[in-house]
């Protein structure tokens, strides 16, 4: 699968693929060239997942329901 197809993956698909790569790399069984290729794909998948999460966060920030039923825009509080 090429990097071009990563952009078309859902968050869940990309995360599952990334988990497979991590397990494969942790096993240490793959040849070096394959490990490097897997690592590069893993980086692309990680970046894609981060992008999808940021998009979801932006949607949450834009939509907020008040107690009276009206919708308003409020930023998501990311500080704990």
Asked if the structure places residue 45 within a domain, the reply is yes
pTM beyond 0.85, yes or no = no
Residue 7, domain extent: 3-72
| pLDDT for the residue numbered 80 | 47
The CATH number that applies at residue 10 is 1.10.287.1040
| pLDDT for the residue numbered 57 | 87
Of 68 and 3, the structure prediction assigns the larger pLDDT to 68
Asked if the structure places residue 77 within a domain, the reply is no
Asked if the structure places residue 30 within a domain, the reply is yes
Asked if the structure places residue 28 within a domain, the reply is yes
Tokens 């490990």 map to which residue?
Answer: 35
Asked if the structure places residue 80 within a domain, the reply is no
| pLDDT for the residue numbered 62 | 74
The tokens describing 21, both together, are 């790569």
Asked if the structure places residue 65 within a domain, the reply is yes
pLDDT bucket at 70, cuts 50 / 70 / 90: confident
Asked if the structure places residue 39 within a domain, the reply is yes
Q: What is the pLDDT of residues 2-30, one digit of tens each?
A: 555 899 999 999 999 999 999 999 999 99
Instruction: Name the domain count of the chain.
Output: 1
């Amino acid at each position: 699968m090429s990097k071009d197809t990563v952009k078309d993956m859902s968050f869940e698909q990309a995360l599952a693929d990334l988990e497979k790569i991590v397990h494969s790399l942790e096993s240490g069984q793959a040849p070096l060239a394959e490990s490097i290729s897997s690592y590069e794909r893993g980086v692309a998948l990680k970046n894609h997942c981060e992008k999808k999460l940021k998009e979801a966060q932006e949607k949450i920030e834009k939509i907020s329901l008040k107690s009276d039923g009206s919708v308003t825009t409020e930023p998501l509080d990311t500080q704990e």
